[in-house]
């Protein structure tokens, strides 16, 4: 059972719908028949779209018990999406059915892959994001109309306990929406305020990218500098000679993830970026550096280690003095503190579960506010962090990542309803965030939530789809 692509920040990459994959005249016709994968999908969708979490849990326990650890994530997705509407389906392999769906409550598209076993049993269900089908467009609204539409929608979602978080939208320095919804701490009934700090997950990769590019701008390294030149003692010497700074910034180094059973077994040994390099550095790459894109958390931890080596300072102190300070991000930092929004897994209907607060790494997991994210976007635009040339380097597409998304140097570049934006998302259990900067219109949107993906992405996309796409004449 693979939920990672759908639930994590990397889900923003998406997987495109094939040509003509919009809503067919009769979606049910694609699902008609007694092929096992179709039968299983129909049964699964009925309990997924239903209002009884116990029925969903019972279905998974009976039919796919290996997926029981993911039930809370599934129910959170059900709550955030409002359930799925089927667009079309097709057989994509032996015993495999791929179904393209859209959220019933939001604009988001996804695909569900159902696999039947050789004897007809249910073998797997996997979610992943999907880009909108060809020709998908939403009518854009005036600025005030778009803001009012989202504010009304979020008020309703919060009243139903389906959303908690903060949202900000601005055009340059003019804030047009700044609201907070729901609870930051359910045990204490502490409400989310507009200045509440949230864990930002992988959004923190933008800060690491800016810090590294400051070193490039200062001439202390170049994009094509190999890791071996910056860390001569790197545990895998052969890889270090082939792996460059640009590979790490663009997720093309093959350096892989840090999470999983190995991380869990060694968690007590992992306190500093040097610890991560010591434990993960000896690994062979998943593929030859530069061969393709594959989102890599370890690659950004390694960038943090490089930053410490080149700057001579702990990466947290460097961030404070050279990223957060110049940008005016007074609330942002790597470690949790009292008053932060606590992360919650699961769903309100089935029961939200508080999680232990995360601690930041150069790959993400720090804390910020929507105001500070707006300040970061402004500092980028006004070249307080990087000069114009290096800001352009960071935010210009360099690598295709599947669907309509591309990556610059630590920044994701995508299109929302035809409007290009750059920024980053973040996701983990109990964490979701999105920062989008629209250079064509001058808008910036920042959404943070203490629920899992896609609770922040949905309102971010909703507003990005509807705000005016161009600057006023």
pLDDT score at 30:
86
Residue 215 is predicted with a pLDDT of 98
End-to-end CA distance of the chain: 51
Report the residue count for the chain.
Answer: 473
The arithmetic mean of pLDDT across residues 236-256, rounded, is 98
Ramachandran angles phi, psi of 226, nearest 5°: -75, 155
* Rounded mean pLDDT, 90-95: 93
Is the pLDDT confidence value at 19 over 50?
no
Residue-level pLDDT at 139: 95
pLDDT for residue 71 is more than 80: yes
Residue 351 CB partners (closer than 8 Å, separation 6+): none
- Other CB atoms within a 10 A radius of the CB of residue 396 amount to 13
pLDDT at 2: 32
Q: How is residue 215 written in tokens?
A: 């070193």
DSSP letters, 83-131, are -EEEEEEEEEETTEEEEEEEESSSS-EEEEEEEE-TTSSEEEEEEEEEP
Q: Pick 285 or 402 by higher pLDDT.
A: 285
User: HSE-up of 398 (CA within 13 Å, CB side)?
Assistant: 21
Whether residue 44 has pLDDT greater than 50? yes
Tell me whether residue 217 is exposed, middle or buried, using C-beta atoms within 10 angstroms of its C-beta: 0 to 12, 13 to 18, 19 or more.
middle
Q: What is the pLDDT of residue 36?
A: 95
Average pLDDT over residues 208-232: 98
Q: Pick the residue with more confidence: 291 or 136? A: 291
144-194 pLDDT per residue, tens:
999 999 999 999 999 999 999 999 999 989 999 999 999 999 999 999 999
Q: What is the per-residue DSSP string for 394-411?
A: HHS--EE-STT-EE-SS-
Residue 385 has pLDDT above 90, yes or no: yes
Give the DSSP letter of residue 364. B
Residue 116: which of 108, 125, 105 has the closest Cα?
Answer: 125
The percentage of residues in the chain with a pLDDT greater than 90, rounded to a whole number, is 85
Between 29 and 89, the more confident residue is 89
Confidence class for position 25, pLDDT limits 50, 70, 90: low
Q: How far, in Å, are 118, 325, 360, 365, 451 from residue 345 at the CA level?
A: 34, 32, 19, 16, 6
Q: What's the whole-number average pLDDT of the chain?
A: 92
Reply yes or no on whether the pLDDT at 367 is more than 80: yes
Among 18-27, 33-42, 48-57, 70-79, the least confident range: 18-27
Which range has the worst mean pLDDT, 129-143, 227-241, 373-387?
A: 129-143
How far is it, in rounded angstroms, from Cα 370 to Cα 401?
A: 27
Cα–Cα distances in Å, from 74 out to 16, 146, 171, 393, 400?
22, 30, 35, 38, 29
**What single-letter DSSP state applies at residue 342?**
P
In contact, 447 and 370? CB cutoff 8 Å:
yes
Whole-number pLDDT of residue 26:
67
Indicate the pLDDT class of residue 318, thresholds 50, 70 and 90.
Answer: very high
User: Among 135-144, 209-218, 458-467, whose mean pLDDT is lowest?
Assistant: 135-144
What mean pLDDT do residues 376-403 have?
Answer: 95
How much is the pLDDT for 23?
52
**Helices 297-311 & 205-217 angle (0-180, nearest 10):** 40
Task: Show the domains of the chain with their CATH numbers.
Answer: 4-130 (3.10.450.280), 143-203+338-466 (3.40.710.10), 205-316 (3.40.710.10)
Across residues 121-131, what is the average pLDDT?
89
pLDDT band for position 17 (cuts 50, 70, 90): very low
């Amino acid at each position: 059972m693979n939920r990672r692509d759908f639930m994590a920040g990397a889900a923003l990459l998406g997987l495109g719908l094939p040509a003509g994959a919009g809503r067919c005249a009769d979606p049910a016709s694609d699902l008609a028949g007694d092929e096992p994968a179709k039968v299983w999908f129909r049964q699964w969708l009925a309990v997924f779209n239903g209002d009884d979490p116990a029925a969903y849990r019972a279905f998974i326990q009976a039919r796919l018990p290996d997926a029981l650890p993911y039930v809370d994530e599934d129910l959170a997705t059900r709550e955030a999406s409002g359930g799925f509407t089927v667009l079309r389906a097709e057989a994509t392999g032996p015993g495999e059915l791929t179904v393209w769906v859209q959220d019933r409550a939001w604009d988001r598209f996804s695909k569900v892959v159902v696999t039947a076993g050789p004897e007809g049993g249910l073998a797997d269900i996997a979610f992943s994001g999907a880009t909108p089908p060809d020709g998908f467009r939403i009518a854009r609204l005036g600025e005030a109309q778009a803001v009012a539409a989202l504010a009304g929608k979020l008020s309703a979602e919060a009243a139903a306990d389906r959303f908690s978080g903060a949202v900000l939208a601005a055009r340059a320095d003019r804030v047009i929406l700044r609201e907070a919804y729901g609870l930051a701490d359910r045990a204490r009934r502490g409400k989310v305020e507009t200045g509440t700090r949230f864990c930002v997950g992988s959004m923190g990769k933008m800060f690491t990218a800016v810090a590294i590019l400051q070193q490039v701008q200062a001439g202390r390294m170049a994009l094509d500098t190999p890791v071996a030149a910056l860390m001569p003692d790197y545990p895998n010497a052969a890889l270090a000679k082939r792996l460059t700074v640009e590979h790490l910034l663009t997720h093309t180094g093959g350096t892989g993830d840090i999470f999983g059973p190995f991380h869990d077994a060694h968690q007590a040994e992992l306190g500093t970026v040097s610890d991560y390099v010591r434990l993960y550095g000896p690994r062979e790459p998943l593929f030859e550096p530069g061969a393709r894109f594959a989102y890599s958390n370890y690659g950004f931890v390694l960038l943090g280690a490089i930053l410490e080596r080149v700057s001579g300072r702990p990466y947290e102190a460097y961030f404070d003095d050279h990223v957060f300070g110049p940008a005016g991000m007074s609330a942002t930092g790597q470690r949790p503190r009292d008053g932060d929004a606590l992360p919650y897994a699961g769903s309100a209907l089935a029961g939200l579960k508080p999680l232990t607060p995360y601690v930041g790494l150069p790959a993400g997991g720090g804390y910020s506010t929507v105001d500070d994210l707006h300040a970061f976007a402004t500092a980028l635009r006004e070249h307080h962090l990087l000069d114009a040339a290096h800001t352009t380097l960071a935010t210009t597409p360099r690598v295709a990542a599947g669907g309509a998304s591309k990556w610059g140097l630590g920044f994701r570049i995508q299109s929302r309803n035809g409007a290009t934006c750059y920024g980053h998302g973040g996701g983990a259990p109990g964490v979701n965030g999105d920062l989008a900067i629209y250079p064509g219109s001058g808008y910036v949107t920042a959404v943070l939530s203490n629920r899992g993906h896609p609770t922040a992405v949905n309102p971010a996309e909703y507003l990005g789809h509807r705000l005016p796409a161009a600057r006023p004449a």
